[in-house]
Structure 1
Amino acid sequence: MIEVYKAGFMTTIQDIGRPGYAHLGIPASGFMDQTSAREANSMLGNEVRAPLLEVDVVGIGLRFNVDCTVAVAGARARVNINQQPQNTSNCIDVYRGDQLEIAPLTAGMWTYLAFAGGLVAEKFLGSCATLSVAQLGGFQGRRLQKNDVLSLKQPSLVKGKPKLPLTRRPHNTLHSLAVTRGPEFDLFSPNARQSLTRQAFTMTEHISRQGMKMTGPKLKLNKQVDINSSGLVPGSLQVTPGGEYIITHRDSQTTGGYPRMAVLCQDNLDFLAQVRPGENIYFYVRSA
């Protein structure tokens, strides 16, 4: 067993998610940064879709009552065992009585902690992904809290594989993300359409697994129109009547009534997940 002695703000158990239920109002959920989560699992020889801890920017502290090898991937993280720094390029052996701490992240928003043998987690519709707004999956359907106790399926010490050199770009404060034109793109003024790809958007502190709010150029409609509630996918860029910009993510509601000016290309969702408050985003339109 593993005891949580320091909980982050949004740390949950996640796996690859439960796609295919949007027609029932259930989002796919799952890893915010799928590439990093898969990497953490693969280092240990786990199934890449297996549940692990998605640790938010605050970090986490765990006390181990078993011997187990772990792996960390994702946003840049300082990992200590009994206050001793660890090399996260390799798997890390943790022993009974040890305390593992992931310090507050210095770049990015999410890092992933995988356990050899896998976590025990609650399933819903075939997935252990936590959907906290509906209290489904993971650990009691919620974020982790201090004094929670996690269980492992078959804790073990394994020979992990060192991380392969990453081909992904390093974290910086300026991001270039690909979008396609959204269903309501043509309802916006010519100036707004140009501003979408010529001016920067800035991430605010309003970040969750459901979506993020940004500030940016004024994107005005040709005229105010009533839009029927329509389908949303992760990465939908909505513009509210008050001029707010909301871009959805893994736990997004499946329908909405704001104009969808653009949709983030799905292979850019991992990058969006790691954007921090105050960092800038430039969008560019990718041809179909």
Structure 2
Amino acid sequence: NPRNVFRWEVSSPTFSSGVVWTTNVDRTLTFDSFPFLSRKDRSVKYPEDLPITLPNLLRFILHHSDPASVPQNLANPPTKECLQSEAVFQQGHISHLEREIQKLRAEISTLQRAQVQVEAQLSSVRRDEHRLLRQKQTLEKQHSLLQLHSQQLQALYEQKTRELEEVARKLQELADASENLLTENTWLKILVATMERKLEGKDGAESLPPPQEVGSDHPEPPGPPRLPGSTPLPSNSSSTLASERSNENRTDKLLK
């Protein structure tokens, strides 16, 4: 179409379209108005003092695509069909641009929703991080308390062990003393039994009639010395002592 002398490109990192205008860029907008000597007669240069933005580009394109803005050639005036086709073309072009703008807005909305979701996930991750950090601090405090409690229990265990050893030592001493007392008690019982037998033998000797006196020319039989006025030992004293010794030996054997 001889009236469409512009070719323009819009750069965008996300969207692309393969129609009259395309988007395949970095972050800058590039506008090509054929600034060469070979450009067409009806080409128009984009104003240098006007910022290159999408609204400005659309206004510039629509303004210079309007048949009213194009100087009429008196020799070849446009026909009615030409004007109608041009109007249809411009309307289709505008509709196409509106659809592309709607697509861009939809993509922007999608990106905004995705951004909101990512921010929500990031906030959740940060909350989890703070929660885990608090749990870590709590566990560290509990670990310190457990270590302190373990040290206290260890000290208490050592103290109780020493006390038990002391109690065991005292119990052993008491057991030894009890055994000694038991032995002494046994010996006392033996001694009491011996004394009782001696007393019984003495009483039996006193109940017997006195022996006949013998002349002084017969010497007295040898024996242990007696005090004046003491009672003579009975004749069976040797047998009594032998029985006491045998009883003592049996007691020793029982104790062993």
**TM-score bin, normalised by smaller chain:** under 0.3
Give the structure with higher Rg (CA).
2
Q: TM-score, normalised by structure 1?
A: 0.15
Select the structure that is richer in strand: 1
Greater RCO (Cα-Cα under 8 Å, separation 6 or more): 1
